[in-house]
Structure 1
Amino acid sequence: MSSSVKWIKLSTQMFEDEKIRLIESMPEADTILIIWVKLLAQAGKTNASGYIYLAENIPFTDEMLATIFNRSLPTVRLALRTLEQFGMIEINDDHTICISNWEKHQNVEGLEKIREQNRLRKQKERERKKLLETSQDSHVTVTQNHATDIDKEEELEEEKEKKKKKKKKTSPKYETCDITLAELLYNRILKRDPKFKKPNLEKWANDIRLMRERDERTPEQIEYLINWSQENSFWCSNILSASKLRDKATTLILQIKGEKDKKQNGGYPNERVQSSSRSGNTGEYNNFSL
């Protein structure tokens, strides 16, 4: 962690982002947005390409964040869940938090410059120690061996940094329902565009799995979203992958519920909510949870 980072960059247009606007419509909007800014600041302090942790291999727990953010534990957990569902943060299997699209929020070149300055400072300290030890030690062999150990330590540190940048989340195997839903989305798109290139259905299935496990959507709800989006004149041309379906799920749910509210109040929207081709339940979206 680099203690010399004293600033982070915030866009003047951040409150025009559709995700921020959706969060502002929620009951705990102010607290969630404050925690979002605190996470950005914490990532700046860590200065590790958007990752947030107490120390290497020691991720922050929800309880730790509640303490340092001075917020209740349920509030912190609600904020983390909301920000993850909106694709603003990622939480790895080892519970390490990472800011999505970190370069969007920060002057990456400036932070990289700070890391390089720290690396050079450490290198100069090591060289100074080597010179001091050389002057005190009359045995050249011992000095050379010690220098070799320092070089190896430097190489190991650089290797760790490279692995950290290339770190990927390991995903458990998807289930049958996930590949079935992935194929449903592909077939619905293919029906409209016979020349649509066949995607990596296993990757799509894994995105469906994340919707079930991380976002807590049921297979029936996911199937409903697939059918509804592909029957909607706007979303059918925008939802062309399982990852996009997951990213826009909350927006879709809000629109579905909004159309139902208009119908209940006597105002009919231009697009009628269509039922799931399998369940036939026009009220399935009532069970969605934000």
Structure 2
Amino acid sequence: MGEVSWIKLKVGMFDDSKIKYIEGLPERDTIITIWVKLLTLAGKHNEQGYIMLSKNLPYNEEMLANEFNRSLNTVRLALQTFTTLGMIEYDDGILKVANWEKHQNIEGLEKIREQNRLRKQKQREKQKLLENNHVKSRDSHATEEELEEEKNREEDKSPSLPYKNIINHLNEQADKKYKHTTNKTQGLIKARFNEGFTENDFLKVIDNMVAEWKGNEKMEMYLRPETLFGTKFESYLNKTVVTNKKGDSYLDRLMNGEE
């Protein structure tokens, strides 16, 4: 089917029990954002809920990470959550939004397909006329973007911030192998320093959450820079540490009304 310009989102979306479950997770905002992006992507290509780049090419995890500008681990975590909740399914290995008809009005799609076909035809004709100028302009713009990205990378790698000390501490305490030179990781650390936090604050956040999550099969995956140094950094810093000896997760306790 052709691309559509809208999908249905109910005003009571956040009253849904599955969404409420997701809101109890440490990376709830990111996971919900990926869910909405999946819906819009399914609507964009409109193949009965299948997540497709083209008619014969389905999206995989790596392609979705690139499409959504998220890390591969974050996309995998989100897809695992959606699969567990029955929000997505795999049909012969192809990712599909479950109950797609809930999110899309089937009526009028034939008209939309025809409109899209005519629109794309006009775009192709216009593209042929402007191709040479467009390529030159695009190449020039790409060069400027590359220079800006290189400048940002150099700024993020500034030795004035203790990236290595922080990540080494995380690796030692959580038995991980994260790199302190990763742009995403440095960006998170730099953002928290810009908010006034110190190196000792980072070390305490790591110690707090390692004490609570390490050894817990469900929660140990969150011992990573994207979770620890993200928007909940301050709450982790001020958290009263509860060492988890029985293996029950924060999420389990949350669902049981213990948090």
Could you state the TM-score of these two structures normalised by the residue count of structure 1?
Answer: 0.40
Structure with the bigger RCO (C-alpha within 8 Å, sep 6+) is 2
